[in-house]
Amino acid sequence: MAPHRSPGPLLSFSEREILSAESTIVFHPQTLSNDVDTPHKPWYHYLPLCATVFLILAPHPSWLYVLVDFHLQTLHQPAFFVAHLIITYTLTFMAFSSLIVILARDPGPANPPPSRLEGAEGEGEEIGLTEALMPDRDFSSPEKWCRKCWAPRSERTHHCSICNRCVMKMDHHCPWVGAKCIGHRTYPAFVHFLCCVTFLAIYIAVVASNALWFAFQNPFAVHEFIPVHELGLAFTGGIFALTVGSFAVYHLYLISTNQTTLENIAPFMLLRHLPPLPRDGHSLSDPPLEAELSPVQRRIVRDAHGQIFIYDVGWKRNWVQVFGWNRKLGWFTRLWYGGACLGDGKSFPRNPRSEEMLAKLANDLVKFDSDR
């Protein structure tokens, strides 16, 4: 009697066929973060950028008119005339340099192609089909899976619904700089741009106000149309200094506390960082959802948001993390156009006190939920 044999598999593949199948997998273009696969924006998305460039260049004809008439023809001070030209156009060139960096540089490619990951030395490392389709991710942690890009999303990475992509350490989406996101690789250039425009506006406003005061004291020594230009420059310079300067000061505060705009204005983002909650004694999810919190619990989260800075490691290290450099003359690039943040944009050092404060917040939420 012939020995019993277990039935074999219905289909069998050789190793060469499996490798060929893995190499021919096609992923959706939206899961890739390369600039080639990013859809082009409509032309009207660039209208705010044109307005930004226009507002920077619009005061310069009046500025040159005031400098020539006031410092050359009235006061006969060619040295001051040249100094004002150098300072204003250096600040203007620096502002445009950082603006070009924002437009030309990717803010932070969060999701590389699933079939190839970049190694530490920039060389590609092939991964298999199983690793590409089923990555080892903790879906409840801040480092989780993006269900819109269908790709892994690292810490402090957010999905932009306008750009339809994930951005590393996303700060915000800015329509005034080409409808682009400000992220890990463009945030220093963005802050540099705000500071340069603010300093330029303050400088023009101060010099124009000084010339306007001279015109009031010596009405017959200047041309009759010069005070109109000086008044316009002083007014617009003051308006720009207040509006753009307020944004610059706000972002300097965010750098000092190591926050992004999204983290600062969204207090309920703390919920995703909470430690695991007890299984019994409450009806909250793990981590809790904003919609299931009571008004008292929402107030607790908002109060804790002003005290818990998860990534604050001291203002010096916070500034080094954003504006630091690791090359010999790196300070020159930071001074000239802002550059990019240090690190890989995927992992960040944490405030050692934040874990204890997050645990206290979790206990308070559970306590007030059990009392309902």
Given the residues 166, 174, 196, 341, select the one marked as catalytic: 174
Residue 285: pLDDT band with limits 50, 70, 90: confident
Active site includes 174?
A: yes
Give the whole-angstrom CA distance, residue 335 versus residue 327. 14
Give the whole-angstrom CA distance, residue 357 versus residue 305. 10
Residue 136: pLDDT above 80?
A: no
pTM beyond 0.95: the answer is no
Q: Write out pLDDT tens, residues 14-60.
A: 544 444 444 443 444 443 334 434 557 788 889 999 999 999 999 99
| Per-residue pLDDT at 49 | 95
Strands 151-153, 172-174: pairing is: unpaired
